[in-house]
Each structure stands twice: as structure tokens, then as C-alpha cells.
Homo-oligomer: A and B are copies of this chain.
């Protein structure tokens, strides 16, 4: 889990003829969540708009820096590789990437593009009809999101979220992942053994024995699930403390043993 944002990426989301301003806001939020910042709007029906701002939530900065243009050509200025999102089956002439592979390709292309001062782009069509065949002409490849074949059409912001997520995963995979540090150390094997000896002692004292004839020793079954819990040092101490209390109380009460 990276604790700092990934380095900037030369990658742009282009929304074409978007109908609902709420969707534009939701895309801005989804982008910022996934550490993307470059948003271009081609002929949005209504923008700026309070609904867009509301849905952007804390991503107003992405929304404010969004550029509004009137043609796809303007939106693609300075762009090399372009990928178009699609839900429908299209002509076989396009190479179709599923979103996970698409993200690897995009991150790779963005890296190359950056050295040339360029960018890569992902195109999103209208909510109802997606991209026209003419708009698709600007794309090098298609991006497809796997979905329920009986209900394939994702909301545009959902699609942006998924693509952004896979791009983040690809960026991170490329950067090397730092493991989450464990705050309290795992109990060592010897401490676990002492716990089991203590537990067996108490089990004998309270006469807890296997009545199921399962063939697996009771203590082994307990060890399995306590090992599975991956107890840390403090947690072993809690269990030891409980066992000690059981013993003390029994002795105080004048147990016959």
C-alpha cells in the first residue's frame, strides 16, 4: 500500500457530449480517488452546474481545472495513444482490450508519451449511445469492461471509476508495493507453545475432554483455529490472562483438586 500518491501520469479522460452534469461531477471524484487529474469535456450539455459540483464532493479541484472544448480534435491535442470505451460489440477491426489489460497498456503508453511531452487519452461517449463510429476513428484500440451479458451498460462514472482503478493498480504494480507494517509483532512459536500448555492444564482442571470421538485430538483442533487467527503478542497475553483467572477463581473457591 503506497502511503504517498503515485507520481503524476500523462493520461486524460475525455467525456464527449455528456448529458447529465451529475455524471461529470461523479467522474471527477472517481478520477481523484484514483489519482488522476486531467479531465476534458467536449460539448457537455450543462456545465458548470451545481449538480456536478455536488457529486464531485471533495474533487472540486479536478472539476475546476477541467477544460471545456467543442471538438474531439481539440480534446486530443498533444495526445498520442487513444483508447475508446465501449460496451457494445464493435467491428473486429479494432483491437479490444479488457480493462485490466487496457490499463497496463495505457500506463505503458503514458510513460512513453510523457518523455515526448505528450499524453494518452481515454474516450467516453454519451450516456445513452456511447461513442459514434466517427468518434471511434480517433481511437487506436477499444476498452471493454467485463459485465453481466444480460445487463452490460455501466453508468459512465462507474466506468471511469473502474478504469481509473485498474490504471492505479497498473501504476502501482509498476512502482513496487510496500507491505503494510504490523504494529504488534506476531506471537513467537515458543509463546504459542506456552499458551497451549497452559490451556491443556486448565482443560484438565475443569475436566474438559473430547466427547465426539472425531479421531482428532481436541487440543489439535484448538491449535488449528488459534493458529489460523495469527495471534499477536498482546492477544496471547489476553488468553493467558483469562486462563489464569479461571485457575485463580477455582482455587480461591476451594476446588477439590
Contacts and interface: CB of A to CB of B under 8 A. Distances in A.
A189 interface: no
A95 to B, nearest CB: 8
Interface in A71-128: 91-93, 95-96, 98, 100
A178 to B, nearest CB: 12
Contact of A149 (B5, B212, B229, B234): B5
A245 B206 contact: yes
Contacts of A203: 242, 245
Interface stretch (A11-19, A39-47, A220-228): A220-228
A35 interface: yes
Interface in A191-208: 202-203, 205-208
Given A168-B146, A229-B228, A245 B208 contact: yes
Contact of A253 (B151, B211, B238, B253): B253
A135 interface: no
Contact of A146 (B29, B154, B172, B182): B172
Interface string A134-166: 000000000011111111111101100110010
B162 A242 contact: no
Contact of A241 (B91, B145, B208, B226): B208
Interface residues of A, number: 80
A203 B243 CA distance: 10
A190 interface: no
18 contacts: A30-B155, A33-B147, A33-B152, A57-B155, A59-B151, A92-B182, A100-B169, A146-B165, A206-B249, A207-B249, A208-B241, A208-B246, A212-B234, A214-B234, A221-B234, A229-B229, A253-B253, A253-B255
A248 B148 CA distance: 52
Nearest to A154: B33
A33 B3 contact: no
Contact of A206 (B2, B32, B91, B246): B246
Nearest to A181: B92
B30 A158 contact: yes
A32 B183 CA distance: 39
Contacts of A150: 5, 35
Contacts of A246: 202, 206, 208, 246
B34 A147 contact: yes
A159 B133 CA distance: 32
